[in-house]
Amino acid sequence: MTQRHDPVSQIASVPLWYHTLELAPGITTPGWFDLRPIAGRLPWPDVRGKRCLDIGTFDGFLAFELERRGASEVIATDLVAHEDWDWPPVLRDRGPQAMAEMAGEKGRGFEIAREMLGSSVERMLVSVYDLDPEEHGQFDVVVCGSLLLHLREPLRALERIRAVCRGQLMSSEEIDLRLTVLHPRRPVLRFDGLSELFQWTIPNVAAHRRMITAMGFDPVRSSGPYAVPYGSAHPPRPRTAAELVKKARRRLFAGGDGVPHHALLAQVREPKPG
């Protein structure tokens, strides 16, 4: 059996899988994160027969889930190259090369998963900042997962999402759990921009909701805080006292160990007449 037709060899040819994907019975990718246990907790809209867009797809978990749920067409966007990320200045010189060495060819995991699943999801190379209804059309449902924190201009990104969305947006984003507990109703953001985590701003739940609302959407329903579990390939977490405290906090307020997230389903706000 050639590597092309050997699923185990194909999966092993990808240096870094971001998503844990079950591509065939008993055949699973070694992802950094495993969204399977929490997929049912997300506030999915009814996508049956609808044109859908997954922004920042990486290996495609959310795009393939849209297809599995009955979407008639799914477009999954990604960047052309590792250089196109919104790298903070402190990482700009070495970040793209380090990512290329760690992750390999951009989009290879998605293409392998697409082929093995027999999927019809189309991968489109475009930045969220460049989404244009004239060029890309409009979508009944847009999903965006764990992306805004990596963007230098998340509100500009949401503005472009609003331009191509004619129905509903489901945004699932990392949140600052401590700020969520301390300020349950007040929108508060933690600014980074310097760490190796390649993050710009991390909102609390109230801020995530406010960002979506401010850019032209009305909330429909949301999840509570939940933890996205680490996958089998994720680097081990440090066993420091501070990390153990964070782990206990995640279990208490997000229901498990992993990266705290919040998901919001929102409807496009129509202009008021007059």
pLDDT band at 52 (very low <50, low <70, confident <90, very high): very high
Contact 156, 233 (CB under 8 A): no
Between CA 253 and CA 257 the distance in angstroms is 10
Helix (H) or strand (E) holding 136: helix 133-136
The model carries a pTM of: 0.94
Domain boundaries, the chain: 3-268
Give the orientation angle of helix 108-117 with respect to helix 61-68, to 10 degrees. Answer: 20
Q: What is the per-residue pLDDT for 108?
A: 96
130 pLDDT band, cuts 50/70/90, is: very high
In the CATH hierarchy, which top-level class contains the domain 3-268?
alpha beta
Using a pLDDT cut of 70, give the percent of the chain over it. Answer: 98
Q: Is the pLDDT of residue 254 over 70?
A: yes
- Report residue 175 as tokens: 């949140």
Q: Any bridge partners for residue 246, and if so which?
A: none
Side-chain-facing half-sphere of 75: CA atoms under 13 Å = 19
Tell whether the model's pLDDT for residue 3 goes beyond 70: no
Query: Taking 90 as the threshold, does the pLDDT of residue 43 lie above it?
Result: yes
Specify whether the backbone of 47 is left (phi greater than 0), alpha (psi in -120 to 50) or beta.
alpha
pLDDT of residue 2: 40
| Token pair belonging to 101 | 């060495």
Mean pLDDT of the chain: 95
Q: What is the pLDDT of residues 55-75, one digit of tens each?
A: 999 999 999 999 999 999 999
What percent of the chain shows pLDDT beyond 90? 91
Which residue type is seen at 260? P
- Round to whole Å and give the CA distance between 219 and 209: 8
Give the pLDDT confidence score for residue 57 in this predicted structure.
98
Cβ partners under 8 Å of residue 228, min gap 6: 33, 34, 35, 38, 146, 258, 259, 261
